[in-house]
Amino acid sequence: MIGGLFCYNHKGEVLISRVYRDDIGRNAVDAFRVNVIHARGQVRSPVTNIARTSYFHIKRSNLWLAAVTKQNVNATMVFEFLLKVVEVMQNYFGKISEENVKNNFVLIYELLDEIVDFGYPQNTDTGVLKTFITQQGVKSVTKEEQAAITSQVTGQIGWRREGIKYRRNELFLDVMEYVNLLMSPQGQVLSAHVAGKILMKSYLSGMPECKFGINDKIAMDSKGKPAEESKTKSAIAIDDCQFHQCVKLSKFETEHSISFIPPDGEHELMRYRTTKDISLPFRVIPLVREVGRSKLEVKVVVKSSFKPSLLAQKLEIRIPTPLNTSGVQLICMKGKAKYKASENAIVWKIKRMGGMKESQISAEIELLETETKKKWTRPPISMNFEVPFAPSGFKVRYLKVFEPKLNYSDHDVIKWVRYIGRSGLYETRC
Amino acid sequence: MPAVRGDGMRGLAVFISDIRNCKSKEAEIKRINKELANIRSKFKGDKTLDGYQKKKYVCKLLFIFLLGHDIDFGQIEAVNLLSSNKYTEKQIGYLFISVLISGNSELIQLIVQSIKNDLASRNPVHVSLALQCIANIGSKDMAEAFGQEIPKLLVSGDTLDVVKQSAALCLLRLFRTDPSVIPSGEWTSRIVHLLNDQHMGVVTAAASLIDALVKKNPEEYKGCISLAVSRLSRIVTSSYTDFQDYTYYFVPAPWLSVKLLRLLQNYPPPEDPGVRGRLSECLETILNKAQEPPKSKKIQHSNAKNAVLFEAISLIIHNDSEPNLLVRACNQLGQFLSHRETNLRYLALESMCILATSEFSHEAVKKHQETVINALKTERDVSVRQRAVDLLYAMCDKSNAEEIVLEMLAYLETADYSIREEMVLKVAILAEKYATDYKWYVDVILNLIRLAGDYVSEEVWYRVIQIVINRDDVQGYAAKTVFEALQAQACHENMVKVGGYILGEFGNLIAGDARSSPAVQLQLLHSKFHLCSSMTRALLLSTYVKFVNLFPEIKSHVEEIFVADSNLRSADAELQQRASEYLALSKLTSLDVLATVLEEMPPFPEKESSGLLNLLKKKRPGRVIENPDRLDEHVKKEPRETNGTSGLTLASNTEQEGGSADLLGLGVPSAGNGNGPTTNGAGAVTNNIQKFYCKNNGVLYENDIIQIGVKTECRSNLARLALFYGNKTNHPFMNFQPNVSASPALSLAILLQVKQVDSTVEAGAQFQQMVNVECVNDFDEQPDLNLVYNYNGAPQTVNIKLPISINKFIEPTEMNGEAFFSRWKNLSLPAQESQKIFKAAHPMEATDSTKAKLIGYGFQLLENIDPNPDNYVCAGIIHTRSLQIGCLLRLEPNKQAQIYRLTTRSSREAVSQHISAVLCQQF
């Protein structure tokens, strides 16, 4: 039970304050400001207990969003809810910023009234919310429409309304993966995992029932032909996954098949995580040499290890520099490199890079001798990139659409599948 | 461009405005990182920077540091700035150093050199800068490096006044870190004579320095009194036009006056009549000036004037010798009591509290009682109300007690929660101290509980019960009043406790009235029973069982209550035990037994409610103003029992064998100490080790600050000692370490097992330490108890013996004459017998006390065995782990000669000798 929801700007001024339950007093708003936003030391914990009241906060671009409660609630539920609130707001008015929140506060209060009732989160699906909370002025709703909204919000399939019609039935599927890596200077993988999600954009008529097949090891084994398929190694082991509310979980549990009636428009169908057999797209090889007390030589090699036919984009390698750097000279074979004093790092950017290639940068860092004998801790070198494949090996095997009432079949639907691999926290120690 | 190159430092201004414009913390950090990198590259660069640039970058670093970031470079540049000749550059250099240099920096040598150069400089501004830097760093190193030079600067004739001023303050700072920095001897008079300096600034600075010096060493600087008085009189008698620069809103030199007045408060009133007269004149003038119409309407004027006035009043109070001044001060304060300014009212009340304690002005303070009570009622500021309560407490005496207590009670209803507990204590103390009529006292306390039950601490209601029990005349009234109070719909749990206790004791006194018949009383109490905590329920159960004794006609009702599942099978072990024991008591025993067990409580030893006072002190340490009448009363302090439950386990104690009536804050030591000393004159040290041969419980050791009590329980060859340490003072004992040890020979004979205790004993607290002893073999020594603790900073030690001797392990043995004499004969070897003939130290006629001593020693007294009825015959068996030693004893008094003959026989030679050696000192 969420007692209330507050939104502050970076100065701690209250932008939005909505209290759902009586046990949250007026001073709760100030308590969070005083004890967290204006705290002397930075508050790292996302959950703060102040005078028997719990505050759960997240930060989004200089805004603080805090849920407050006096009860013993499920903390993960609250954070999930906060993230949903952010998502809903983004869907309504784009980027979350102080400006936007101020401009849309009437809408935000309207949304907050709808998505939480007496502290219990309700429907947070933007698609549904948009049917009755619109941004175009006041529109008188007819009785039938009102009834339709009520039956839909309270009905079994709350995420999709009836009577949707498209001339062209289309369906887009994005497999988006984030690779996280921590590697030792010698090239040993210390930890690696992939967090993936499947985003689906559907423009389908009627109430179509979809069936979705992936190369999950368990699902494929249960299909009865384990011998041949798992030998080809195309199946992957998914550590854990979660689905959009439209997926019928009972069916997934019994038959390992993913079937659902999708919401109209965009939604996140599935989220998953894998830790085994990840194909790492890049390797970073650092070489650091200290020349006396006033100089440091750094050489970094980046090697791509995927099919030469593919092209990685938006590469950015960030090499941290010591805090007493007084000057940097850089030579790089490809791309552009710059010393960014404001971030205490050398940033090396490469627009594109093919598979099975390598590139190198060398830097001479001059140091200023200082009072303190503190040794520089050498933070890891981090990297950002985007590649057109799924590093976990995830594959969409099929996506079938059935709509028994309308006369279009699976073949009439145009389907698009795209794989994107991005860097999460991709770091190499040096 | 020279325009930019002024003091403006445009780069710095731009940087600061950049930072101010940052939208978020992250942006700020980015900007700072960029600036730091820029400064690093500038400092690293091979081209040399000019002074302006260095100053600018050092300034930026300073600003970044003040924003909370670590700065670990730039020190060299800052030190370089010190050698610049430009004031601004030098100033920034010093600023950086005083803010950022740590004491153990390598650069400190360089800095010290620079400062030395500047101190020797002829430019006074440079000297002042250096002095400021020394004072700002103020480390021990600085004190050592410049301890010689600064005093010279201070007293030298050709130093400028401004520099002298700085030097005095700098020296004060160094003196605070290292008192040895000020040289004594000839310097003393030269420093003191600074008070005569022409320049007021120098005098003001010197007054601060001298004040600090005087606090350290009052004797040496005694010369300053007359100088300060004459200086003061010159200021006070001057008109405001005399000191142009040092007149603040028409008040001449207010700061200096205040400092001088403070300085004088370090000494008793001056002995020299001339000086004394001058001082009184000054103080009178200050009081006169307060009456003059203000010269300005500005707040600063009245603030400055009042500051001097209040300091003067403090001095008058401190001196406490001139009655007319005290009375005038009091009248002046009385005017302030109704002043518009809240601060003035506060200060007036605060000063009056102190005035009330002076014998001269106590009466004068009392005149303002109306105003103070009014302040209590109408004042808006809670802190002022608090002071008003303090003052009422302080000015209370016999004549006005009733009125003040009534007013405070009335105010309690609306009082702030923060001061309620304190007020309750004050009311309780005043009511008790000035009670002429105990009915009134009982009324007051019951009202107190009714109005502010939550804030009534245990001690308060313990106390009212003690008083009711000790005074026969109020018992009936008290019973009637509590009965009426309990009839209220909602009454506080503390009221139920008091009510339960008093009705249990004296319910019979009001039982005659049909409206408060026994059944009604029981019903009334029981209607509250279910709303109370288990502590109170336990007390109520005791009350019920007392009702069984008092009113046999309602016995069946009471038994029903005991039988109820919620009591007899209560989850609370205490309640369950009481219910079942009381039930058995009321069902099984005869009326006689019942009447004995449930007899009325014996009166408590009379004592002050020092428990309450201690509590008050604990609540507001350092702030408690004594009620003046206390000063001439004899103050007795008893250790308070801190064992939380003891107060309520009373009733069950009464039915336990040998239970001591331990209730209401009576410590175990004083309770079990029937014939021991209960009061001690100041400084008396009591060490009762001898007495413990014949008794098990009592006070073992007592002096002004600590009391040690002992309770011993023995069973065959095992003994358990409970040592009670009571802190009789208002300060906690630190590092409290009781250490029990035995000599090597003794440690073979007994095994000691000592529980560890906390190292701190709170003021007025008492706690218990258990010592387990097992007797392995016979012994004749006693273990040592070495107590080490810090009281008020001073280490204290107490070395005493623990009262464990072989007789603690004697089991009394009953036998007839025949058996006794046959055994007596069996032990006829000369080594087994020990005989002593000694003079009687106590009256021989008191056979009862002699018998009690023998029994207390551990023996069974065998009567009618010896042919001579005057002789005492005893037998016992000493249990050790390895063997049992039979002991027989005959004590034959010779009344004509006033001597005793003591014969002891036992199977061990050492035992006989030891017993007779010990016992011969007891009779």
Q: Could you report the per-residue pLDDT of B673-708, keeping only the tens digit for each?
A: 333 333 333 345 667 777 777 777 878 888 878 888
Determine phi and psi for B53, rounding to 5 degrees.
-65, -45
What's the gap in Å between the CA of A341 and the closest CA on chain B?
5
* pLDDT per residue as tens digits for the range A66-123: 999 999 999 999 999 999 999 999 988 888 889 899 988 889 999 999 999 999 998 8
8 A C-beta contact, residue A244 and residue A269? yes
CB of B297 within 8 Å of a chain A CB? The answer is no
Residue B258, pLDDT above cutoff 90 = yes
What average pLDDT is seen over chain A?
Answer: 87
pLDDT at A329: 92
CB of A327 within 8 Å of a chain B CB? The answer is yes
Q: How many residues does chain B have?
A: 923
pLDDT at B678: 36
Top pLDDT among B115 and B617 is at B115
pLDDT at B633: 37
Tell me which residue in B30, B73, B105 faces A343 most closely, judged by beta carbons: B30
Residue B395, pLDDT above cutoff 80 = yes
C-alpha to C-alpha distances, B600 to A146, A361, B109, B505, nearest whole angstrom: 81, 98, 82, 6
User: Of B853, B845, B915, nearest to B878 (Cα)?
Assistant: B915
pLDDT at B669: 37
pLDDT at B651: 34
Residue B652, pLDDT above cutoff 70 = no
Among A146-150, B155-159, B211-215, the range with the most confident prediction by mean pLDDT is B211-215
Q: How far apart are CA A87 and CA A77, in angstroms?
A: 15
Identify the closest residue of chain A to B32 by CA–CA distance.
A342
Residue B657, pLDDT above cutoff 50 = no
pLDDT at B893: 84
Residue B133, pLDDT above cutoff 50 = yes
Please report residues of A whose CB lies closer than 8 A to that of B40. Answer: 324-326, 368
pLDDT at A274: 93
Q: For residue B105, name the pLDDT band (cuts at 50, 70, 90).
A: low
Q: For residue B634, name the pLDDT band (cuts at 50, 70, 90).
A: very low
Listed in sequence order, the residues at least 6 apart from A87 whose beta carbon sits closer than 8 Å to its beta carbon are: A124, A126
Residue B185, pLDDT above cutoff 70 = yes
What average pLDDT is seen over chain B?
Answer: 79
Output the CA torsion A43→A45→A46→A48 (10° steps): -80
pLDDT at A157: 76
Q: For residue B443, name the pLDDT band (cuts at 50, 70, 90).
A: confident
> Which of A321, A324, A342 to probe the B interface (max B CBs under 10 A)?
A342
Query: What angle separates helix B472-486 from helix B458-470, to the nearest 10 degrees?
Result: 130
Please report residues of B whose CB lies closer than 8 A to that of A341. Answer: 33-34, 36-38
Average pLDDT over residues B337-361: 83
Q: For residue A337, name the pLDDT band (cuts at 50, 70, 90).
A: very high
pLDDT at B916: 81
pLDDT at B643: 36
Determine phi and psi for B447, rounding to 5 degrees.
-60, -40
User: Of B253, B153, B158, B258, nearest to B208 (Cα)?
Assistant: B258
Task: State CA A240 to chain mean position distance.
Answer: 16
Please report residues of A whose CB lies closer than 8 A to that of B25. Answer: 10
Residue B104, pLDDT above cutoff 70 = no
pLDDT at A273: 94
Please report residues of B whose CB lies closer than 8 A to that of A64. Answer: none
Residue B666, pLDDT above cutoff 70 = no
Taking CB atoms and an 8 Å limit, are B33 and A62 in contact across chains? no
Which ranges of A192-316 would DSSP assign to H, the alpha helix?
217-222, 226-231, 249-255
Q: What is the pTM of this model?
A: 0.58
Tell me which residue in B30, B36, B44 faces A327 most closely, judged by beta carbons: B44
* pLDDT per residue as tens digits for the range B160-175: 888 888 999 998 998 8
Listed in sequence order, the residues at least 6 apart from A412 whose beta carbon sits closer than 8 Å to its beta carbon are: A169
What's the gap in Å between the CA of A72 and the closest CA on chain B?
28
User: Of A160, A214, A219, nearest to A403 (Cα)?
Assistant: A160
pLDDT at A197: 94
pLDDT at A283: 92
Q: How far apart are CA B827 and CA A131, in angstroms?
A: 112
> Please, which residues 74-113 of chain A have a Cβ atom closer than 8 Å to chain B?
none
pLDDT at A380: 94
pLDDT at B4: 43
Q: For residue B64, name the pLDDT band (cuts at 50, 70, 90).
A: very high
Average pLDDT over residues B456-466: 82
Top pLDDT among A361 and B729 is at A361
CB of A230 within 8 Å of a chain B CB? The answer is no
Return the minimum-mean-pLDDT range out of A329-343, B50-64, B182-196.
B182-196
State what percent of residues in chain B have pLDDT above 90.
Answer: 4
Q: How far apart are CA A384 and CA B473, in angstroms?
A: 93
Residue B314, pLDDT above cutoff 70 = yes
pLDDT at A331: 92
Listed in sequence order, the residues at least 6 apart from A98 whose beta carbon sits closer than 8 Å to its beta carbon are: A9, A10, A15, A62, A63
Q: How far apart are CA B610 and CA B607, in angstroms?
A: 8
Gyration radius of chain B over CA positions: 39
Q: How far apart are CA B698 and CA B708, in angstroms?
A: 9
Burial label for A138, CB within 10 Å (0-12, 13-18, 19+), is exposed
Q: For residue B840, name the pLDDT band (cuts at 50, 70, 90).
A: confident
Q: For residue B46, name the pLDDT band (cuts at 50, 70, 90).
A: low
* pLDDT per residue as tens digits for the range A42-68: 888 999 998 889 999 999 888 999 999
C-alpha to C-alpha distances, A175 to A198, B602, B795, nearest whole angstrom: 5, 89, 77
Top pLDDT among A371 and B496 is at B496
* pLDDT per residue as tens digits for the range B842-886: 777 777 778 888 888 888 888 777 777 788 888 888 888 877 888
Q: How far apart are CA B122 and CA B640, in angstroms?
A: 69
Query: Has the ipTM of the complex gone over 0.90?
Result: no
pLDDT at A179: 95
Query: What angle separates helix B555-563 from helix B518-529, to the nearest 10 degrees?
Result: 20
State what percent of residues in chain A have pLDDT above 90.
Answer: 48
Residue B466, pLDDT above cutoff 90 = no
pLDDT at B611: 61
